[in-house]
Structures are given as C-alpha cells and as structure tokens.
C-alpha cells in the first residue's frame, strides 16, 4: 500500500470513529435537553456530523469542483457531492426529517468503497508486477580482472557478461562457460528448473540458481526477450474489450440521464402538484446516491485486468482485454502441427537408397545410405529449416562447403543445389513431380524426402517428428472446455497427418499444404464460423505470422526468445505445453462470466432501488447499500479473476 493510500486509510478510520461517536450521542442521548431545545440540538448535530463528513470527503468535494471547472460534470464525485450536500441541506426545509447522519454515512461508505477498490486494483496488479520484476537491474562484466556492475543497456551483441547464482540473466545470449540450473517460472509458469550448459542459448529474465555462467550477448537489451515481454504487458491495459468500451459509453450517458431524473423527481411534483418539498428533494437525493455507476466502472475493467494478470502467472501473456474477450468465444481451434502438437525435433528414422540406377557408370558405393545422406546434407547445408537441421545432424561426416554451388530453396517443396557439379534435388513429391522425376512411394509414417541426382531418382529419407506427450490431453481438455472443433494444418503427407490426428483425437485434418495455402484454409474455416463464434490459430511463431494475424485470435506457443511470435500473436504462451491453450480459454471464459455477473447484478439492484427511491420507499441507507455495497460485492467478485490454477 502506498503512502498516499496509508494516509487515506488512517483518515477514513478516524472519520469512522468520530462518526460512530456522534451517531451514538445523537441517537441515545437527550441532546435537546442538554443544549436547550430542538433547534439547538439540530444545529449541534449538523456541526458534529459535518466533522467526519469533511474529514472523509474533502478530496471528493475538491475533485468535483475541479472537474466542473474542466467541463467534466457528470462523474461519481459530482453525484456524491450533490447527494451528500443535499442531505445536509434538508435541515433547511421546515418540517423535514434531518439527514445529516445519512449524508455523512454516504460519504464515509463511499470512501471505504474507494479504498477497497484501491486495494483490489493493487492486488490485481501484483501478478503483473511479478512479471514486471523480471527486468534485470544490472549485469556483471569482467574489467581488469574484476567483476564490475554495469547497466544492461550498456552491453552490445558480442559482449560477454557474468551471471552469479541468484542473479537474473540480463540479455539474451549463448553460454560460453559454465553449467547451471535456471528458474524460468517468472516467464513460463513452469516450476521445474532447466539445466543449461556451455553452447546453449539462454534468454533474459531467467534466474541463475547454481553455477556461475559466462554469457555472450546476442541481442541488445532493448531487443531482448524481457524487454519485449514488458512492452507487451504495459500495452495490454490499453487494449480494452468491447464490453469495457460499452460500459464506458453506457456510463457517459447513464450518469447525466439519472441526474436529470433526480432533478425531475425533486422539482416537478412540488412545483406542479404542490407536494411537500422536503419529501421529494429527499427522494431525488436518494435517487442520486443510487445512480452512481461505480460498481460497473470499477469492476468490469478490474475483471479484465485480473484475468490478464492471473494468466500471466501461468506464462500466458494476453495482449489486451479485447483478445481475452475474443478467446472466451473460441469455438474452433486450429493447430499448425509442427512445434505445437509435435516437438518440432525431427530425426532421421530411415534411409532408403535405390537398388538400381539407370546410369550404369555409377559405382556401387554410391548406393550406400551414407552416400544418399551425404547428398542430402550438402544440398541442405545452408537451410535452417528443422528438417534440414535433422539431416545435417544425422550425417556423421563434415560438410565441405567448397563442393556446394547454386543453392535454391523453394518453400513447401524442397531444395535444388549443385553438389560436385551434379544437380541434387531433395524435397517432397511435389518437387519430384515438378522436375518430372519418377519416384517411389513409402508406406512408413513420417515425412518422406525424395532425393534425385541429375534428374535420376536415387532414394528417399524418412524423417519423423515426435508428438508431445501432453498433446493428447491438451486436445481432450479443449473438447471438455466446449471447443466444438479442433483442426490440424500441416505440410506433411496425408497418411502422416491422419495418423497423428487419430492418435490425438483431432476432428479435422488438412495435409500437404504450402505455407500460403494454410492462410486459405483458415479463411475457409472462418467463413464457416458464425458471428458469435471465434477461431483461434495456434502456431509456434515460425513462418506462420500471416495465419496468426488472419485468425480471430492468434496464439503463439513456445515463444521464449521468439520476437516474431511475440509480435504476431494476440496471445503468447511462453512455454511449449499445449495444455495452456485450454487454460487460457478457461481463464477468459471465467473472466467473461464474472464480468456479466457484475453487470447484471449491479444494474438489477440499482434499477430496483431507483424505482423504490422514485416512489419514496427506498431510504438513504438502502441507497448507500445499492451504491457502495453493490460496488464492494462487485469488486470482490471481480477479484476472483486473479485466482488461477494449472
């Protein structure tokens, strides 16, 4: 709690104590006899109740005057000021019941509600603050044989810095010396430490738990993972949900309407029909107290803020309330298979060279699996595609770059390269068909890479991706959450895609797709969606930015260290666990349920008490409950959005 809030709390506690003493004195002591008459007693009570009123509410009165001067008349400060001043002013009407106690109580309880609101907002910000704490304050660099603290902003790519046990990694980089365990929970929500050693990439924001690490920076601080995440979190509150915007617009019109309504109730019956002024002014004031839209204006944004904060504790970063609201309506979830449902860690599982070549001059050694793998590895030498990396990893020899010329990669097809002055083609059946090379089908489950040498088919290599152990449960959790359709898009062969889909329980599969065709498939799925349903696309942030952008909600998974994923997606899952998709949907739906509970509850109570106030049944005390009581209950309900579990 801030110093300002502490002072405000103390002020309200003192005001409440004074109010309680004055109330007991006025109700249970013969004040009129003590001061010599009812008029004197009335003036004494007026002065005594004015003390806690001004002590608690002077800032509200000041804000109301300041806002009127700025042209902002219809806000909660104005409503509270008019209603409470009016309650005290009723003493001026002959024959009216005094309402100084109610006037002071309205201001006091309003301020208690405001204090409670501040506490709730601070608590909801705590989870965001935990995420904001990932920013490192310093880094150690070696200068003249000594470790010196420097600002992370001073380091550049290529600079080496030292991370002691207990310190945060300041910049993204690669370990050049040391082994350790890293605490990544602030980024991913994962409590199990990650073992790292020399040569591994690490990202900023992680806590070094054991050994001393020397790290070479690969990015400047302003482009590091931690900087991108902090920027995302800071921008999230600016992107309001449609429901938030509706409440803002509603309050803009609601407040002046009920203020005019209160004036009509207070003035017209006495002016037109000669009714008692005091009775109808009291009704108008009660109407004003009830009409304050605090419960809605506070609880709805607080719910979205709490939902976003709660999700961040699980390593789920939602870029704004609008995306949280859209995610709650997700009816179809589309996966790009590689890196989301599978590990994206391809391995060579079989090498099938041709047994006979048309070119009889070839030596028999050229039919060996190792020779076929050598051709493929040299052709893929300059590619960073996961499939290319798996081929190079499987090849036991060294790649001689002097043997390679004229490398051309065609997305969704494969690679053409000149190796030892021979044209080598490696890719899928589309590449073979395009080059008019007759190839053999393979019945093995996996990605089949055909290899041709100078237009002649020389065999194929089978590469398999590993399905994540959590993937099947993730799909089941989505169905349990009410997602009616799960779809998988992949560039793999139909046989491989169908096998994975059957194993995981996915409803619909589209295979052998080029990257641009995935966008077309998503557009077709979007066309089939109703107006109320939303489509979420889940990718790993690599080469699927167009699809992430095109979907109603783009979800990037495993985005630690991936600037592209953080930039393109609406929701960012910092780890590789696909079960977090259903957790994100659960959080969003829980948030929306609470938002609408508060809207219906607050409006229902307020409209009911407004009617009772207009007909003279509702008292000022009931109006206090309809305002402050409803606001406190709505805030308590909104705070449930912050409670999340795996």
Catalytic center residues: 336
Report the distance separating Cα 477 and Cα 510, nearest Å: 22
Q: What is the 3-state secondary structure (H, E, C) of 571-616?
A: EEECCCCCHHHHHHHHHHHHHHHHHHHHHHHHHHHHHHHHHHHHCC
Spatial separation of the C-alpha atoms in residues 504 and 490, rounded to whole Å: 15
Q: Are 537 and 518 in contact (CB under 8 A)?
A: no
Q: E strands along 435-586, which residues?
A: 447-453, 456-464, 485-489, 508-510, 534-539, 553-557, 571-573
- Beta bridge partners of residue 451, listed in sequence order: 426, 459
Sign of the torsion angle spanned by Cα atoms 566, 572, 574, 577: negative
**Which secondary-structure segment (H or E) carries 333?**
strand 330-336
Q: Please classify residue 534 by burial: count the beta carbons closer than 10 Å to its beta carbon, then call 0-12 exposed, 13-18 middle and 19+ buried.
A: buried
Q: Buried (b) or exposed (e) across 248-283, using 16+ Cβ within 10 A?
A: eebbeebbeebbebbeebbeebeeeeeeebbbbbbb
Rg (alpha carbons) of the chain, rounded to whole number: 34
DSSP 28-58: HS-HHHHHTSHHHHHHHHHHHHHHHHHHHHH
DSSP state of 239: S
Distance CA 36, CA 29 (A): 13
CA distance 420 to 401: 10
Strand partners, 411: none
Strand partners, 160: 216
The answer to whether 108 and 19 are in contact (CB under 8 A) is yes
């Amino acid at each position: 709690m801030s110093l300002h809030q502490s002072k405000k709390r103390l002020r309200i506690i003192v005001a409440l104590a004074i109010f309680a003493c004055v109330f007991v004195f006025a109700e249970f002591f013969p004040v009129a006899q003590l001061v010599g008459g009812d008029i004197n007693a009335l003036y004494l009570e007026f002065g005594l109740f004015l003390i806690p009123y001004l002590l608690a509410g002077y800032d509200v009165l000041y804000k109301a005057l300041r806002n009127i001067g700025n042209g902002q008349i219809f806000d909660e400060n104005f409503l509270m000021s008019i209603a409470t001043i009016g309650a005290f002013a009723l003493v001026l009407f002959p024959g009216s019941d005094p309402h100084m106690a109610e006037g002071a109580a309205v201001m006091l309880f309003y301020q208690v509600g405001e204090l409670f609101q501040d506490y709730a907002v601070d608590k909801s910000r705590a989870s965001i603050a935990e995420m904001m704490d990932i920013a490192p304050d310093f880094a150690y660099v070696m200068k003249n044989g000594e470790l010196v603290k420097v600002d992370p902003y001073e380091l550049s790519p290529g600079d080496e810095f030292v991370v002691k046990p207990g310190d945060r990694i300041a910049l993204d980089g690669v370990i050049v010396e040391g082994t350790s365990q890293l605490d990544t929970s602030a980024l991913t929500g994962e409590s199990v430490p990650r073992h790292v050693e020399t040569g591994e990439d690490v990202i900023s924001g992680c806590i070094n738990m054991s050994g001393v690490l020397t790290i070479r920076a690969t990015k400047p601080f302003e482009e590091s993972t931690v900087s991108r995440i902090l920027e995302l979190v800071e921008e999230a509150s600016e992107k309001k949900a449609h429901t938030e915007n509706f409440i803002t617009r509603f309050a803009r019109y609601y407040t002046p309407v009920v203020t005019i309504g209160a004036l009509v109730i207070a003035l017209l019956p006495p002016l037109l029909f000669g009714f008692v002024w005091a009775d109808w002014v009291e009704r108008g004031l009660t109407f004003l107290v009830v009409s304050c839209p605090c419960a809605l204006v506070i609880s709805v944004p607080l719910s979205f803020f709490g939902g976003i904060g709660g999700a961040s504790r699980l390593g789920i970063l939602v870029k704004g309330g609008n995306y949280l609201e859209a995610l709650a309506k997700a009816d179809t979830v589309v996966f790009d298979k590689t890196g989301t449902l599978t590990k994206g860690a391809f391995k060579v599982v079989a090498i099938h060279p041709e047994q006979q070549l048309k070119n009889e001059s070839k030596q028999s050694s050229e039919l060996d699996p190792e020779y076929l793998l050598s051709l493929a590895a040299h052709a893929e030498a300059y590619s960073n595609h996961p499939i290319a990396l798996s081929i190079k990893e499987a090849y036991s020899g060294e790649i001689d770059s002097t043997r390679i010329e004229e490398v051309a990669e065609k997305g969704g097809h494969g690679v053409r390269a000149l190796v030892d002055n021979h044209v080598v083609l490696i890719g899928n059946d589309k590449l073979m068909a395009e080059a008019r090379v007759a190839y053999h089908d393979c019945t093995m489950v996996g990605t089949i890479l055909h290899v041709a040498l100078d237009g002649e088919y020389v065999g194929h290599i089978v590469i398999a991706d590993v399905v994540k152990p959590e993937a099947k449960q993730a799909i089941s959790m989505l169905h349990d959450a009410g997602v009616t359709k799960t779809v998988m898009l992949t560039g793999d062969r139909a046989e491989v895609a169908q096998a994975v889909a059957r194993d995981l329980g996915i409803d619909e599969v589209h295979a052998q797709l080029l990257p641009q065709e995935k966008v077309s498939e998503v557009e077709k799925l979007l066309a089939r969606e109703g107006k109320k349903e939303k489509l979420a696309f889940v990718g790993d942030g690599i080469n699927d930015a167009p699809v992430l952008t095109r979907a109603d909600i783009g979800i990037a998974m495993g985005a630690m260290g991936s600037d592209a994923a953080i930039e393109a997606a609406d929701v960012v899952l910092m780890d590789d666990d696909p079960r977090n998709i259903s957790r994100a949907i659960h959080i969003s739906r829980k948030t929306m349920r609470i938002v609408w509970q508060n809207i219906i509850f607050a409006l229902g109570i307020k409209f009911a008490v407004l009617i009772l106030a207009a007909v003279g049944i509702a008292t000022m005390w009931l109006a206090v409950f309809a305002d402050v009581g409803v606001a406190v209950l709505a805030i308590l309900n909104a705070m449930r959005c912050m409670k999340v579990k795996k």
